[in-house]
Copies of this chain bind each other. A is one copy, B any other.
Amino acid sequence: MKRNSRLSSTLHILVHMADAPDRALTSEQLAGFIHTNPVVVRRTIAGLREAGIVTSSRGHGGGWQLGRAPDEISLAEISAALGETLLPFSTEPESPGCLVEQAVIAVLDDFRLEAERLLAERLSHITLADLTADFRRRYDLIGVSSHAV
C-alpha cells in the first residue's frame, strides 16, 4: 500500500466485499486486491469494524463482510472511521504568546473548521453503492465491447 492511499485502498476492499455479499473474505484475500499484507489490512480496517461498517469473524469460514447495505455506508463515515484528516495542514502553536501566530492560527482554524464541515457534507452524499454501481457500469461496458470484438 502506498502512502496516503488508505482511503482509496479501503474503498477498493469494500467494493470487493460489496460484490461478494454472500460470503466472508479473508484478510489474505483482501490484501491480495491491494497488493499488501493481511496484517496491514486488519490494522487498517479495524476502525471500520468499530464503526459497524464491516464485521469480522474468526475461524473456519471466517473473514470480513459489510456491516450494512452499501447504500447506507457513506464515504464520510469510512474516512472518519479510518481516522483520516480531510485537510493536511496543522495549526499547533509553536510560539506561545506570539500575537502574530495567534492571528494566523485563528484564521486558519476558522477556515479549516468550515472546510472540513463542507467536505464531510459532500462525502456523506457518496455511498459505497455509488462506487459499486460505477464498477458495475464499467464491467458491463467491457462485456459489451468484448462481444463487439
Which residues of A are in contact with B by a Cβ distance under 8 Å? 1-9, 11-12, 15-16, 19, 33-35, 75, 84-92, 94-95, 98-108, 111, 114-115, 118-119, 122-123, 126, 130-132, 134-135, 137-139, 142
Scoring A92, A100, A118, A123 by chain B CB atoms within 10 A of each residue's CB, the highest score goes to A100
Q: Quick one: copies of this chain in the complex?
A: 2
Q: How far is the CA of A119 from the CA of B98 in the complex (A)?
A: 27
- In the complex, which residues of chain B have a beta carbon less than 8 angstroms from the beta carbon of A9? 94
Report A5 CB to chain B, min CB distance, Å.
5
Are B99 and A138 in contact, CB atoms less than 8 angstroms apart? yes
Q: Which of B4, B122, B131 contacts A89 (CB 8 A)?
A: B4
Provide a sorted-by-A list of 20 A–B residue pairs whose CB atoms are within 8 angstroms: A1-B94, A3-B90, A4-B89, A5-B89, A5-B92, A7-B89, A11-B104, A11-B108, A12-B95, A15-B100, A33-B100, A34-B95, A35-B95, A87-B88, A88-B88, A99-B142, A104-B131, A107-B131, A111-B123, A115-B122
